[in-house]
Amino acid sequence: MNALQDTFDLVVVGHGAAGLAAALAAAEAATQARIVVLEQASPEQCGGGTRWSPANLRMQSVHALAPDFLRDMHLANGTRHDADYFECLAKEAPATLQWVEAHGVQFHAPGYYMSAGPPRIQPQGGGASIVSGLMQAAHAAGVTFWYDCRAEQLRCDASGAIIGIDITQHAKRRSLHTPRVVLASGGFQGNPHMLREHLGAGAETLRPISPGSAMNDGAGIRMAQAIGARTSGNWAGMHSEPVDARSTASAPVVLVYPYGIVVDQAGQRFIDEGAGLVHETWEYFSRDIHFKTAARQAWAILDARALDIPGLARAVRSDVAPIQAETLDALAQRTGIDRAGLQVTVRAYNAACLGDTKHFDATRVDGLASTSQLQPPKSNWACPIERAPFIAYPLVGAIAYTFGGLATDTQARVLRAGMDATPIAGLFAAGEITGHFYDSAPNAVAVLRALVFGRIAGRTAMSTMIQTVSHERLHA
Ligand SMILES: Cc1cc2nc3c(=O)[nH]c(=O)nc-3n(C[C@H](O)[C@H](O)[C@H](O)COP(=O)(O)OP(=O)(O)OC[C@H]3O[C@@H](n4cnc5c(N)ncnc54)[C@H](O)[C@@H]3O)c2cc1C
């Protein structure tokens, strides 16, 4: 490699929604710029979490946000809510999705959730179509892609401005010269040591929800911290979902638990299965399965009444059929759940289901609550489990992404740790790598924010190049 081949106007780390949006926006803003996307995975495996994600987006259409968007962002983040960040997201989301659409990605309303919630749209073909659509557009706009290439370390000058990045490619370490880097390399869900350090003992055995989740090992976060970047987001926070313990497929989520009960191996209930709509409970529910059950596994138990719910199959993404039996005893035998424990639990639960089952409505919070004697209570969808066949799904909590990351401003500039929180010259970040999520993951926002702030990062990065070129011309 000669010096020119190792010199770029912009280096983007990561080939997911954030990195590709950054690279494409940068190439459109500065058509002659030398831009490279570094991706540690092969061309066949690239795309990070984005590629495996259904990519639900909290929008009514590409032209309008879901109602109450900003209120819901505040509710999800609590007292540490970063209002500027989410206001910028809200303002830029429609224009960004129209831009993505103009690059060949079509959107439609998803058939994923069976219960109510905010309106969402989804790219046809899921996140994989964002990856292929934006990659092709960026390639056509002149962006270079290096696969099997891992970013290792940022380099700065004496003032702290970015001057380069060290990489490992084909097992060889080398340095690239660049005054601008966009970090879009995801969270640290693929790093067992960081998971244990920040989420607690046992977190290192959390199952990655998809192959893409396992790739993000926090390298970008650590690189930026090493040169003094400020952090953001809840470092003990993660988005996880309950998946079928038997399936080896990507994201075999099972979201039917509100319509039955959930027990541990001893047959004991341990959560209010009906505390809210599934996207309001799945995160802490799957966390409890992992951290609060002895076997780190639970069972969703349903009966024939639940099987009659229209569209129930939409709430199950597992490729493995449930375990089924004509009696609860036989179900206990097939699942290994303690037989007596399950009998006692179901008897107590059924005795507490005194509401009129005609009011049962799987699509909304129906108010069909158990009596207060039941502990833990069941706040909605409380119908007795009494009609054969009885079915069971084994559930484990699987991690999709972490919340802890880098602090960025509304121009996607990475901020410095310390009192002044000024931007690190030449360093930008977008997507999962940036914190900003606190109490719970705002539903259907992770891909949206990756696209919006990826685009902003690419544009802001190149605006500094355009300013520099104009300045040099003026003084030539
Ligand atoms: C199964 C699943 C379902 C989901 N469902 C939804 C949903 O419906 N709606 C929603 O909004 N969000 C959803 N999410 C979350 C969302 O998909 C991600 O948060 C988002 O796509 C992240 O985009 P990103 O560009 O920041 O990171 P990613 O898409 O993860 O891309 C990061 C890339 O960086 C690469 N990389 C990492 N380290 C390095 C390094 N050192 N050098 C070079 N390359 C590196 C990785 O290999 C990866 O390709 C889901 C996630 C999963 C896994």
**Residue that terminates a domain, selected from 398, 429, 449:** 398
Which residue of 40, 166, 168 sits with most ligand 1 atoms within 8 Å of its CB, as the best mutation to test the pocket?
Answer: 40
pLDDT of amino acid 109: 85
Check whether residue 193 and residue 293 sit in a common domain.
no
Which residue of 56, 59, 183, 432 sits with most ligand 1 atoms within 8 Å of its CB, as the best mutation to test the pocket?
Answer: 432
- Ligand 1: atom nearest CA of 18 is 25
In angstroms, what is the span from residue 346 Cα to ligand 1's centroid?
40
Check whether residue 324 and residue 368 sit in a common domain.
yes
Check whether residue 425 and residue 334 sit in a common domain.
no
Number of domains composing the chain: 2
Check whether residue 212 and residue 273 sit in a common domain.
no
User: Domain range for residue 273?
Assistant: 240-398
Ligand 1 and 13: CB distance under 6 A: yes
CATH of residue 469's domain is: 3.50.50.60
The pLDDT tens digits along the chain (476 residues) read 556 679 999 999 999 999 999 999 999 999 999 999 999 999 999 999 999 999 999 999 999 999 999 999 999 999 999 999 999 999 999 999 999 999 999 999 876 667 778 899 999 999 999 999 999 999 999 999 999 999 999 999 999 999 999 999 988 999 999 999 999 999 999 999 999 999 999 999 999 999 988 899 999 999 999 999 999 999 999 999 999 999 999 999 999 999 999 999 999 999 999 999 999 999 999 999 999 999 999 999 999 999 999 888 889 999 999 999 999 999 999 999 999 999 999 999 999 999 999 999 999 999 999 999 999 999 999 999 999 999 999 999 999 999 999 999 999 999 999 888 899 999 999 999 999 999 999 999 999 999 999 999 999 999 977 666 555 555 65
In angstroms, what is the span from residue 47 Cα to ligand 1's centroid?
7
What are residue 21's phi and psi, to 5 degrees?
-65, -40
Q: Is the peptide bond before 389 cis (omega within 30 degrees of 0)?
A: yes
Q: State how far the Cα of 271 lies from the Cα of 23, in Å rounded to an integer.
A: 44
pLDDT of amino acid 212: 86
Check whether residue 423 and residue 388 sit in a common domain.
no
**Residue that terminates a domain, selected from 373, 398, 423:** 398
In angstroms, what is the span from residue 48 Cα to ligand 1's centroid?
4
Instruction: Say if 4 falls within a structural domain.
Output: no
pLDDT of amino acid 61: 95
Ligand 1 and 209: CB distance under 6 A: yes
Check whether residue 283 and residue 428 sit in a common domain.
no
Ligand 1 and 213: CB distance under 6 A: yes
Check whether residue 344 and residue 446 sit in a common domain.
no
CATH of residue 383's domain is: 3.90.700.10
Check whether residue 227 and residue 245 sit in a common domain.
no
Ligand 1 and 238: CB distance under 6 A: no
**Residue that terminates a domain, selected from 398, 433, 458:** 398
Q: What is the three-state SS of 8-25? A: CCEEEECCCHHHHHHHHH
Check whether residue 370 and residue 457 sit in a common domain.
no
Task: Return the bridge partners of 35, or none.
Answer: 10
Ligand 1 and 130: CB distance under 6 A: no
Ligand 1 and 17: CB distance under 6 A: yes
Q: How would DSSP label each residue in 132-162?
A: HHHHHHHHHTT-EEE-SEEEEEEEE-TTS-E
How far out from the chain centre does Cα 331 lie?
Answer: 34
Ligand 1 and 445: CB distance under 6 A: yes
- Give which of 271, 293, 292 is closest to 282, Cα–Cα: 271
In angstroms, what is the span from residue 371 Cα to ligand 1's centroid?
42
Ligand 1 and 164: CB distance under 6 A: no
Check whether residue 331 and residue 372 sit in a common domain.
yes
Helices (H), 165-208: 192-199
User: For tokens 């540690």, what's the residue?
Assistant: 40
